[in-house]
Structure 1
Protein backbone atom coordinates (compact mmCIF):
# COMPACT_ATOMS: atom_id res chain seq x y z
CA UNK A 1 0.00 0.00 0.00
CA UNK A 2 2.89 2.35 0.86
CA UNK A 3 4.41 1.69 -2.58
CA UNK A 4 1.11 2.48 -4.30
CA UNK A 5 0.83 5.74 -2.32
CA UNK A 6 4.35 6.78 -3.25
CA UNK A 7 3.69 6.04 -6.91
CA UNK A 8 0.53 8.16 -6.76
CA UNK A 9 2.36 11.10 -5.14
CA UNK A 10 5.16 10.94 -7.72
CA UNK A 11 2.66 10.84 -10.57
CA UNK A 12 0.85 13.89 -9.18
CA UNK A 13 4.11 15.81 -8.85
CA UNK A 14 5.14 14.92 -12.38
CA UNK A 15 1.74 15.94 -13.75
CA UNK A 16 1.86 19.23 -11.85
CA UNK A 17 5.34 19.91 -13.18
CA UNK A 18 4.19 19.19 -16.71
CA UNK A 19 1.26 21.58 -16.36
CA UNK A 20 3.57 24.31 -15.05
CA UNK A 21 5.87 23.71 -17.99
CA UNK A 22 2.99 24.05 -20.44
CA UNK A 23 1.60 27.20 -18.82
CA UNK A 24 3.03 30.38 -20.39
CA UNK A 25 5.38 32.07 -17.91
CA UNK A 26 4.45 35.45 -16.51
CA UNK A 27 5.92 38.25 -18.58
CA UNK A 28 5.57 41.51 -16.65
CA UNK A 29 7.54 43.24 -19.43
CA UNK A 30 4.40 42.92 -21.60
CA UNK A 31 2.77 45.51 -19.35
CA UNK A 32 2.40 48.87 -21.14
CA UNK A 33 3.41 52.28 -19.70
CA UNK A 34 1.06 53.50 -16.98
CA UNK A 35 0.32 56.71 -15.10
CA UNK A 36 -0.02 56.79 -11.32
CA UNK A 37 -2.63 59.20 -10.00
CA UNK A 38 -2.85 61.10 -6.72
CA UNK A 39 -6.03 61.22 -4.60
CA UNK A 40 -8.24 64.21 -5.31
CA UNK A 41 -11.79 65.53 -5.33
CA UNK A 42 -13.60 66.04 -8.62
CA UNK A 43 -17.05 66.81 -10.03
CA UNK A 44 -18.88 63.90 -11.59
CA UNK A 45 -22.27 63.49 -13.24
CA UNK A 46 -23.28 59.82 -13.60
CA UNK A 47 -24.22 58.42 -16.99
CA UNK A 48 -27.72 57.20 -17.78
CA UNK A 49 -31.32 58.30 -18.32
CA UNK A 50 -32.64 60.26 -15.35
CA UNK A 51 -36.29 61.06 -14.71
CA UNK A 52 -38.19 63.10 -12.14
CA UNK A 53 -41.78 61.86 -12.23
CA UNK A 54 -42.51 61.85 -15.99
CA UNK A 55 -39.92 64.49 -16.89
CA UNK A 56 -36.48 63.73 -18.35
CA UNK A 57 -33.75 65.60 -16.45
CA UNK A 58 -29.97 65.83 -16.22
CA UNK A 59 -28.33 63.48 -13.76
CA UNK A 60 -27.40 65.35 -10.56
CA UNK A 61 -23.77 66.44 -10.41
CA UNK A 62 -21.93 65.40 -7.29
CA UNK A 63 -18.59 66.12 -5.67
CA UNK A 64 -16.56 62.92 -5.47
CA UNK A 65 -13.30 61.96 -3.80
CA UNK A 66 -11.20 59.11 -5.12
CA UNK A 67 -7.98 57.68 -3.72
CA UNK A 68 -7.12 55.38 -6.63
CA UNK A 69 -5.68 51.95 -6.04
CA UNK A 70 -4.93 51.58 -9.70
CA UNK A 71 -2.71 52.92 -12.44
CA UNK A 72 -4.03 53.77 -15.91
CA UNK A 73 -2.46 53.01 -19.29
CA UNK A 74 -0.83 56.12 -20.66
CA UNK A 75 -2.02 55.22 -24.18
CA UNK A 76 -4.92 53.29 -25.63
CA UNK A 77 -4.21 49.65 -26.44
CA UNK A 78 -2.39 49.54 -29.78
CA UNK A 79 -2.90 47.33 -32.79
CA UNK A 80 0.42 45.61 -32.10
CA UNK A 81 -0.41 44.91 -28.46
CA UNK A 82 -3.77 43.46 -29.41
CA UNK A 83 -2.18 41.37 -32.19
CA UNK A 84 -0.05 39.54 -29.62
CA UNK A 85 -3.23 38.44 -27.89
CA UNK A 86 -4.63 37.27 -31.24
CA UNK A 87 -1.42 35.35 -31.99
CA UNK A 88 -1.88 33.34 -28.78
CA UNK A 89 -5.50 32.54 -29.63
CA UNK A 90 -6.97 34.50 -26.72
CA UNK A 91 -8.45 37.39 -28.78
CA UNK A 92 -10.45 37.50 -31.99
CA UNK A 93 -8.76 38.92 -35.08
CA UNK A 94 -10.45 42.19 -36.06
CA UNK A 95 -8.74 42.68 -39.42
CA UNK A 96 -6.02 41.10 -41.53
CA UNK A 97 -3.73 44.06 -42.15
CA UNK A 98 -0.34 44.77 -40.63
CA UNK A 99 -0.57 45.69 -36.92
CA UNK A 100 1.18 48.88 -35.84
CA UNK A 101 2.47 49.46 -32.32
CA UNK A 102 1.90 53.18 -32.84
CA UNK A 103 -1.79 53.14 -33.82
CA UNK A 104 -4.68 52.49 -31.41
CA UNK A 105 -6.68 49.29 -31.77
CA UNK A 106 -10.08 50.39 -33.09
CA UNK A 107 -13.14 48.47 -34.22
CA UNK A 108 -13.16 46.68 -30.85
CA UNK A 109 -16.29 45.65 -28.96
CA UNK A 110 -16.59 45.59 -25.20
CA UNK A 111 -16.24 41.81 -25.37
CA UNK A 112 -12.99 42.15 -27.36
CA UNK A 113 -11.65 44.54 -24.71
CA UNK A 114 -12.56 42.16 -21.89
CA UNK A 115 -10.85 39.22 -23.63
CA UNK A 116 -7.70 41.32 -24.00
CA UNK A 117 -7.80 42.35 -20.33
CA UNK A 118 -8.11 38.71 -19.27
CA UNK A 119 -5.19 37.71 -21.50
CA UNK A 120 -2.94 40.54 -20.31
CA UNK A 121 -3.75 39.66 -16.69
CA UNK A 122 -2.75 36.04 -17.25
CA UNK A 123 0.44 36.90 -19.13
CA UNK A 124 1.72 39.53 -16.70
CA UNK A 125 0.46 38.12 -13.40
CA UNK A 126 -1.20 41.50 -12.75
CA UNK A 127 -4.88 42.44 -12.65
CA UNK A 128 -5.93 44.48 -15.67
CA UNK A 129 -9.50 45.59 -16.31
CA UNK A 130 -11.65 48.22 -17.97
CA UNK A 131 -12.19 51.35 -15.86
CA UNK A 132 -15.59 52.37 -14.60
CA UNK A 133 -17.17 55.52 -16.01
CA UNK A 134 -16.40 57.29 -12.72
CA UNK A 135 -12.73 56.24 -12.85
CA UNK A 136 -12.50 57.39 -16.48
CA UNK A 137 -13.80 60.83 -15.52
CA UNK A 138 -11.26 60.91 -12.68
CA UNK A 139 -8.17 60.26 -14.78
CA UNK A 140 -9.49 62.25 -17.78
CA UNK A 141 -9.54 65.40 -15.65
CA UNK A 142 -10.16 68.46 -17.81
CA UNK A 143 -10.67 66.22 -20.86
CA UNK A 144 -13.83 64.73 -19.38
CA UNK A 145 -17.01 66.05 -21.03
CA UNK A 146 -19.93 66.78 -18.72
CA UNK A 147 -23.01 65.73 -20.68
CA UNK A 148 -25.57 67.96 -18.93
CA UNK A 149 -27.88 69.73 -21.38
CA UNK A 150 -29.01 72.58 -19.08
CA UNK A 151 -31.97 73.58 -21.25
CA UNK A 152 -33.51 76.73 -19.77
CA UNK A 153 -36.72 76.53 -21.79
CA UNK A 154 -37.32 72.78 -21.37
CA UNK A 155 -39.71 71.45 -18.75
CA UNK A 156 -38.65 67.86 -19.48
CA UNK A 157 -42.07 66.77 -20.70
CA UNK A 158 -40.93 66.10 -24.28
CA UNK A 159 -37.91 63.74 -24.45
CA UNK A 160 -37.60 64.35 -28.21
CA UNK A 161 -36.50 67.93 -27.51
CA UNK A 162 -33.71 66.64 -25.33
CA UNK A 163 -32.62 64.09 -27.95
CA UNK A 164 -32.40 66.83 -30.58
CA UNK A 165 -30.54 69.10 -28.17
CA UNK A 166 -28.06 66.31 -27.39
CA UNK A 167 -27.48 65.70 -31.07
CA UNK A 168 -26.76 69.42 -31.63
CA UNK A 169 -24.46 69.56 -28.60
CA UNK A 170 -22.46 66.50 -29.66
CA UNK A 171 -22.34 67.62 -33.29
CA UNK A 172 -20.41 70.67 -32.08
CA UNK A 173 -17.58 68.37 -30.97
CA UNK A 174 -17.03 67.18 -34.53
CA UNK A 175 -14.23 68.67 -36.59
CA UNK A 176 -13.36 68.61 -40.27
CA UNK A 177 -10.35 66.42 -39.44
CA UNK A 178 -10.45 62.84 -40.75
CA UNK A 179 -11.89 60.24 -38.38
CA UNK A 180 -8.99 57.88 -39.16
CA UNK A 181 -7.05 56.90 -36.00
CA UNK A 182 -3.84 58.86 -35.53
CA UNK A 183 -0.50 57.78 -34.01
CA UNK A 184 -0.16 57.70 -30.26
CA UNK A 185 0.22 61.11 -28.67
CA UNK A 186 -1.38 63.00 -31.58
CA UNK A 187 -4.13 64.33 -29.32
CA UNK A 188 -1.74 65.38 -26.58
CA UNK A 189 -1.54 64.73 -22.84
CA UNK A 190 -3.92 65.88 -20.15
CA UNK A 191 -2.72 67.50 -16.93
CA UNK A 192 -1.95 64.08 -15.40
CA UNK A 193 0.08 62.76 -18.33
CA UNK A 194 -2.61 60.50 -19.85
CA UNK A 195 -2.57 60.63 -23.67
CA UNK A 196 -5.21 61.00 -26.36
CA UNK A 197 -8.28 61.53 -24.19
CA UNK A 198 -11.10 63.16 -26.10
CA UNK A 199 -9.56 62.46 -29.51
CA UNK A 200 -11.36 60.53 -32.23
CA UNK A 201 -11.20 57.16 -30.45
CA UNK A 202 -13.85 56.56 -27.80
CA UNK A 203 -12.97 54.19 -24.96
CA UNK A 204 -15.07 51.43 -23.42
CA UNK A 205 -15.81 51.46 -19.71
CA UNK A 206 -17.27 48.61 -17.70
CA UNK A 207 -20.18 50.75 -16.46
CA UNK A 208 -23.68 49.66 -17.42
CA UNK A 209 -26.29 51.99 -18.88
CA UNK A 210 -28.92 52.82 -16.29
CA UNK A 211 -32.33 54.40 -15.87
CA UNK A 212 -32.86 56.25 -12.60
CA UNK A 213 -35.98 57.81 -11.10
CA UNK A 214 -35.41 60.78 -8.78
CA UNK A 215 -37.57 62.38 -6.13
CA UNK A 216 -38.06 66.13 -5.72
CA UNK A 217 -34.73 66.39 -3.85
CA UNK A 218 -32.84 64.58 -6.65
CA UNK A 219 -32.39 61.43 -4.57
CA UNK A 220 -32.69 58.13 -6.43
CA UNK A 221 -35.89 56.21 -5.70
CA UNK A 222 -35.52 53.52 -8.39
CA UNK A 223 -32.56 52.34 -10.45
CA UNK A 224 -32.41 49.76 -13.24
CA UNK A 225 -29.20 48.70 -14.98
CA UNK A 226 -28.98 47.41 -18.55
CA UNK A 227 -25.61 45.71 -18.79
CA UNK A 228 -25.91 44.64 -22.42
CA UNK A 229 -25.33 48.36 -23.03
CA UNK A 230 -22.13 49.96 -21.68
CA UNK A 231 -20.81 53.50 -21.47
CA UNK A 232 -18.04 54.61 -23.84
CA UNK A 233 -16.17 57.83 -23.06
CA UNK A 234 -14.54 60.32 -25.42
CA UNK A 235 -15.47 63.77 -26.67
CA UNK A 236 -18.90 62.94 -25.33
CA UNK A 237 -20.49 59.93 -23.68
CA UNK A 238 -22.17 57.20 -25.69
CA UNK A 239 -24.28 54.21 -24.68
CA UNK A 240 -23.23 51.27 -26.88
CA UNK A 241 -24.33 47.63 -27.12
CA UNK A 242 -21.48 45.45 -25.84
CA UNK A 243 -21.08 43.54 -29.13
CA UNK A 244 -20.84 46.64 -31.36
CA UNK A 245 -17.46 47.30 -32.99
CA UNK A 246 -18.44 50.24 -35.22
CA UNK A 247 -20.83 52.62 -33.46
CA UNK A 248 -21.49 54.52 -36.69
CA UNK A 249 -23.62 51.53 -37.71
CA UNK A 250 -25.80 51.88 -34.62
CA UNK A 251 -25.62 51.50 -30.89
CA UNK A 252 -25.99 55.00 -29.45
CA UNK A 253 -29.07 55.80 -27.42
CA UNK A 254 -29.08 59.37 -28.76
CA UNK A 255 -26.78 61.89 -30.35
CA UNK A 256 -23.71 61.58 -32.55
CA UNK A 257 -22.08 58.14 -32.71
CA UNK A 258 -18.37 57.75 -31.86
CA UNK A 259 -15.91 57.82 -34.77
CA UNK A 260 -14.03 54.78 -33.45
CA UNK A 261 -14.27 52.36 -30.54
CA UNK A 262 -11.08 51.42 -28.70
CA UNK A 263 -10.04 50.97 -25.09
CA UNK A 264 -7.42 51.47 -22.42
CA UNK A 265 -7.16 49.48 -19.20
CA UNK A 266 -6.33 50.15 -15.60
CA UNK A 267 -4.08 47.96 -13.46
CA UNK A 268 -5.19 47.33 -9.89
CA UNK A 269 -2.45 47.77 -7.31
CA UNK A 270 -1.91 45.10 -4.66
Structure 2
Protein backbone atom coordinates (compact mmCIF):
# COMPACT_ATOMS: atom_id res chain seq x y z
CA UNK A 1 0.00 0.00 0.00
CA UNK A 2 2.90 2.35 0.75
CA UNK A 3 4.19 1.85 -2.80
CA UNK A 4 0.78 2.73 -4.24
CA UNK A 5 0.72 5.99 -2.32
CA UNK A 6 4.19 6.81 -3.66
CA UNK A 7 2.88 6.08 -7.16
CA UNK A 8 -0.07 8.42 -6.61
CA UNK A 9 2.06 11.23 -5.18
CA UNK A 10 4.72 11.01 -7.89
CA UNK A 11 2.04 10.70 -10.57
CA UNK A 12 0.43 13.90 -9.31
CA UNK A 13 3.80 15.67 -9.19
CA UNK A 14 4.61 14.60 -12.76
CA UNK A 15 1.18 15.49 -14.13
CA UNK A 16 1.14 18.91 -12.46
CA UNK A 17 4.67 19.94 -13.37
CA UNK A 18 5.53 18.32 -16.72
CA UNK A 19 4.10 21.09 -18.86
CA UNK A 20 4.32 23.99 -16.42
CA UNK A 21 7.52 26.07 -16.53
CA UNK A 22 8.66 24.82 -13.14
CA UNK A 23 10.57 21.61 -14.04
CA UNK A 24 8.94 18.21 -13.63
CA UNK A 25 12.28 16.42 -13.44
CA UNK A 26 13.40 18.76 -10.70
CA UNK A 27 10.19 18.25 -8.72
CA UNK A 28 10.38 14.45 -9.11
CA UNK A 29 13.97 14.37 -7.89
CA UNK A 30 13.14 16.57 -4.91
CA UNK A 31 9.90 14.74 -4.02
CA UNK A 32 11.63 11.39 -4.54
CA UNK A 33 14.24 12.30 -1.95
CA UNK A 34 11.54 13.46 0.45
CA UNK A 35 9.70 10.13 0.00
CA UNK A 36 12.87 8.06 0.15
CA UNK A 37 12.08 6.83 -3.36
CA UNK A 38 15.36 6.86 -5.28
CA UNK A 39 17.48 4.45 -7.29
CA UNK A 40 16.96 2.42 -10.46
CA UNK A 41 13.31 1.60 -9.81
CA UNK A 42 12.51 5.28 -9.19
CA UNK A 43 14.24 6.35 -12.40
CA UNK A 44 12.33 3.75 -14.43
CA UNK A 45 9.06 4.78 -12.77
CA UNK A 46 9.67 8.41 -13.71
CA UNK A 47 10.07 7.37 -17.35
CA UNK A 48 6.77 5.46 -17.32
CA UNK A 49 4.74 8.27 -15.76
CA UNK A 50 6.20 10.75 -18.25
CA UNK A 51 4.56 8.64 -20.96
CA UNK A 52 1.23 9.24 -19.21
CA UNK A 53 1.79 12.99 -19.37
CA UNK A 54 2.76 12.74 -23.06
CA UNK A 55 -0.47 10.89 -23.83
CA UNK A 56 -2.46 13.72 -22.22
CA UNK A 57 -0.90 16.34 -24.49
CA UNK A 58 -1.26 14.13 -27.56
CA UNK A 59 -4.97 13.85 -26.75
CA UNK A 60 -5.38 17.62 -26.37
CA UNK A 61 -3.50 18.44 -29.57
CA UNK A 62 -4.57 15.46 -31.70
CA UNK A 63 -6.06 17.58 -34.47
CA UNK A 64 -2.92 19.65 -34.86
CA UNK A 65 -0.69 16.55 -34.75
CA UNK A 66 -2.75 14.86 -37.47
CA UNK A 67 -2.68 17.99 -39.65
CA UNK A 68 1.11 17.94 -39.46
CA UNK A 69 1.16 14.55 -41.18
CA UNK A 70 -1.30 15.58 -43.89
CA UNK A 71 -4.75 14.97 -42.42
CA UNK A 72 -7.32 17.44 -43.74
CA UNK A 73 -9.45 18.90 -40.95
CA UNK A 74 -12.72 20.27 -42.40
CA UNK A 75 -13.27 22.42 -39.30
CA UNK A 76 -9.90 24.16 -39.64
CA UNK A 77 -9.87 27.61 -41.23
CA UNK A 78 -6.46 28.96 -42.14
CA UNK A 79 -5.94 32.64 -41.34
CA UNK A 80 -3.16 33.08 -43.91
CA UNK A 81 -1.07 31.20 -46.45
CA UNK A 82 1.39 30.33 -43.71
CA UNK A 83 1.17 27.02 -41.90
CA UNK A 84 3.02 25.06 -39.24
CA UNK A 85 4.85 22.10 -40.80
CA UNK A 86 6.94 19.14 -39.79
CA UNK A 87 10.01 21.22 -40.68
CA UNK A 88 9.17 23.58 -37.80
CA UNK A 89 8.93 20.59 -35.45
CA UNK A 90 12.19 19.14 -36.76
CA UNK A 91 14.07 22.41 -36.26
CA UNK A 92 12.69 22.74 -32.74
CA UNK A 93 13.58 19.26 -31.46
CA UNK A 94 16.79 18.23 -33.23
CA UNK A 95 19.24 20.51 -31.31
CA UNK A 96 18.23 19.15 -27.90
CA UNK A 97 17.97 15.58 -29.19
CA UNK A 98 21.50 15.63 -30.61
CA UNK A 99 22.99 17.31 -27.55
CA UNK A 100 21.04 14.95 -25.28
CA UNK A 101 22.42 11.89 -27.07
CA UNK A 102 25.98 13.21 -26.89
CA UNK A 103 25.76 14.15 -23.21
CA UNK A 104 23.28 11.54 -21.92
CA UNK A 105 25.78 9.75 -19.70
CA UNK A 106 27.23 12.94 -18.21
CA UNK A 107 23.76 14.35 -17.51
CA UNK A 108 22.55 11.17 -15.78
CA UNK A 109 25.76 10.75 -13.77
CA UNK A 110 26.32 14.31 -12.57
CA UNK A 111 23.19 16.46 -12.90
CA UNK A 112 20.42 14.36 -11.33
CA UNK A 113 20.95 15.50 -7.76
CA UNK A 114 18.96 17.82 -5.47
CA UNK A 115 21.81 20.35 -5.46
CA UNK A 116 22.02 20.64 -9.26
CA UNK A 117 18.23 20.81 -9.50
CA UNK A 118 18.17 23.83 -7.18
CA UNK A 119 20.70 25.57 -9.43
CA UNK A 120 18.57 24.77 -12.47
CA UNK A 121 15.43 26.11 -10.80
CA UNK A 122 17.07 29.44 -9.96
CA UNK A 123 18.95 29.97 -13.25
CA UNK A 124 15.90 28.89 -15.27
CA UNK A 125 13.75 31.33 -13.31
CA UNK A 126 16.05 34.23 -14.14
CA UNK A 127 16.03 33.18 -17.82
CA UNK A 128 12.21 33.29 -17.85
CA UNK A 129 12.16 36.77 -16.28
CA UNK A 130 14.79 37.96 -18.77
CA UNK A 131 12.76 36.64 -21.71
CA UNK A 132 9.57 38.27 -20.48
CA UNK A 133 11.24 41.66 -20.04
CA UNK A 134 12.92 41.48 -23.45
CA UNK A 135 9.67 40.48 -25.13
CA UNK A 136 8.62 43.70 -26.89
CA UNK A 137 7.89 42.83 -30.52
CA UNK A 138 5.36 40.14 -31.49
CA UNK A 139 5.98 38.55 -34.88
CA UNK A 140 3.91 35.38 -34.44
CA UNK A 141 0.45 35.49 -32.83
CA UNK A 142 -0.36 31.86 -33.73
CA UNK A 143 1.69 28.72 -34.34
CA UNK A 144 0.96 29.00 -38.08
CA UNK A 145 2.81 32.33 -38.14
CA UNK A 146 6.02 30.89 -36.68
CA UNK A 147 8.99 31.04 -39.05
CA UNK A 148 11.64 28.36 -39.45
CA UNK A 149 14.10 30.71 -37.75
CA UNK A 150 11.82 31.10 -34.73
CA UNK A 151 11.32 27.34 -34.49
CA UNK A 152 15.08 26.82 -34.51
CA UNK A 153 15.61 29.53 -31.87
CA UNK A 154 13.09 27.75 -29.64
CA UNK A 155 14.97 24.51 -30.32
CA UNK A 156 18.24 26.09 -29.18
CA UNK A 157 16.54 27.33 -26.01
CA UNK A 158 15.25 23.81 -25.39
CA UNK A 159 18.85 22.61 -25.03
CA UNK A 160 18.99 24.46 -21.71
CA UNK A 161 16.39 22.04 -20.36
CA UNK A 162 18.90 19.19 -20.48
CA UNK A 163 19.98 20.55 -17.08
CA UNK A 164 17.45 19.05 -14.62
CA UNK A 165 15.53 21.80 -12.87
CA UNK A 166 15.75 24.24 -15.78
CA UNK A 167 12.39 23.05 -17.22
CA UNK A 168 11.72 22.09 -20.82
CA UNK A 169 8.52 24.12 -21.02
CA UNK A 170 10.13 27.05 -19.22
CA UNK A 171 13.06 27.08 -21.64
CA UNK A 172 10.92 26.72 -24.77
CA UNK A 173 8.26 29.24 -23.74
CA UNK A 174 10.96 31.75 -22.83
CA UNK A 175 12.71 30.94 -26.11
CA UNK A 176 9.45 31.59 -27.93
CA UNK A 177 9.12 35.01 -26.30
CA UNK A 178 12.70 35.92 -27.22
CA UNK A 179 12.07 34.83 -30.82
CA UNK A 180 9.06 37.15 -31.15
CA UNK A 181 6.11 34.83 -30.51
CA UNK A 182 3.40 35.81 -28.06
CA UNK A 183 2.93 33.92 -24.79
CA UNK A 184 0.03 31.69 -25.90
CA UNK A 185 1.77 30.72 -29.14
CA UNK A 186 4.99 29.97 -27.26
CA UNK A 187 3.07 27.74 -24.83
CA UNK A 188 1.12 25.93 -27.57
CA UNK A 189 4.29 25.25 -29.57
CA UNK A 190 6.11 24.14 -26.42
CA UNK A 191 3.40 21.57 -25.68
CA UNK A 192 3.24 20.39 -29.29
CA UNK A 193 6.96 19.73 -29.66
CA UNK A 194 6.93 18.01 -26.27
CA UNK A 195 5.21 14.99 -27.86
CA UNK A 196 7.99 13.88 -30.28
CA UNK A 197 10.72 15.19 -27.97
CA UNK A 198 9.52 13.28 -24.93
CA UNK A 199 8.55 10.15 -26.86
CA UNK A 200 12.10 9.95 -28.20
CA UNK A 201 13.73 10.69 -24.84
CA UNK A 202 11.54 8.36 -22.77
CA UNK A 203 11.80 5.55 -25.34
CA UNK A 204 15.58 5.80 -25.22
CA UNK A 205 15.63 5.81 -21.42
CA UNK A 206 13.08 3.00 -21.24
CA UNK A 207 15.20 0.74 -23.45
CA UNK A 208 18.19 1.37 -21.20
CA UNK A 209 16.13 0.60 -18.07
CA UNK A 210 14.10 -2.42 -19.24
CA UNK A 211 15.95 -4.61 -16.76
CA UNK A 212 14.35 -2.74 -13.88
CA UNK A 213 10.79 -3.50 -15.02
CA UNK A 214 9.01 -6.40 -13.32
CA UNK A 215 5.50 -7.87 -13.47
CA UNK A 216 5.45 -7.56 -9.68
CA UNK A 217 5.50 -3.78 -10.11
CA UNK A 218 2.76 -3.68 -12.77
CA UNK A 219 0.06 -2.17 -10.52
CA UNK A 220 2.55 0.34 -9.11
CA UNK A 221 3.59 1.58 -12.55
CA UNK A 222 0.01 1.50 -13.88
CA UNK A 223 -1.30 3.68 -11.04
CA UNK A 224 1.45 6.24 -11.61
CA UNK A 225 0.80 6.26 -15.36
CA UNK A 226 -2.96 6.80 -15.00
CA UNK A 227 -2.64 9.47 -12.30
CA UNK A 228 -0.02 11.32 -14.35
CA UNK A 229 -2.24 11.22 -17.46
CA UNK A 230 -5.34 12.58 -15.70
CA UNK A 231 -3.50 15.30 -13.76
CA UNK A 232 -1.48 16.41 -16.84
CA UNK A 233 -4.70 16.68 -18.85
CA UNK A 234 -6.20 19.02 -16.26
CA UNK A 235 -2.94 20.91 -15.71
CA UNK A 236 -2.39 21.82 -19.38
CA UNK A 237 -5.94 23.11 -19.83
CA UNK A 238 -5.72 25.09 -16.59
CA UNK A 239 -2.28 26.49 -17.46
CA UNK A 240 -3.42 27.80 -20.85
CA UNK A 241 -6.32 29.60 -19.15
CA UNK A 242 -4.01 30.87 -16.42
CA UNK A 243 -1.67 32.45 -19.00
CA UNK A 244 -4.43 34.95 -19.78
CA UNK A 245 -4.21 36.27 -16.22
CA UNK A 246 -0.62 35.85 -15.01
CA UNK A 247 2.87 36.49 -16.33
CA UNK A 248 5.63 33.96 -16.93
CA UNK A 249 7.63 35.60 -14.17
CA UNK A 250 5.05 34.42 -11.62
CA UNK A 251 6.28 30.87 -12.18
CA UNK A 252 9.88 32.08 -11.87
CA UNK A 253 9.17 33.46 -8.40
CA UNK A 254 7.61 30.11 -7.41
CA UNK A 255 10.83 28.41 -8.53
CA UNK A 256 12.91 30.73 -6.33
CA UNK A 257 10.72 30.01 -3.31
CA UNK A 258 10.86 26.24 -3.93
CA UNK A 259 14.64 26.33 -4.29
CA UNK A 260 15.00 28.35 -1.09
CA UNK A 261 12.70 26.10 0.95
CA UNK A 262 14.37 22.91 -0.24
CA UNK A 263 17.85 24.34 0.30
CA UNK A 264 16.91 25.09 3.91
CA UNK A 265 15.61 21.52 4.20
CA UNK A 266 18.87 20.07 2.85
CA UNK A 267 20.90 22.22 5.21
CA UNK A 268 18.75 20.94 8.06
CA UNK A 269 19.39 17.29 7.23
CA UNK A 270 23.02 17.82 6.22
CA UNK A 271 22.69 17.29 2.44
CA UNK A 272 24.11 20.66 1.40
TM norm structure 2: 0.30
* Structure with the bigger percentage of strand: 1
Q: Which has the higher contact order (CA 8 A, sep 6+)?
A: 2
Per the normalisation by structure 1, the TM-score is: 0.30
Which of structures 1 and 2 has the bigger CA Rg? 1
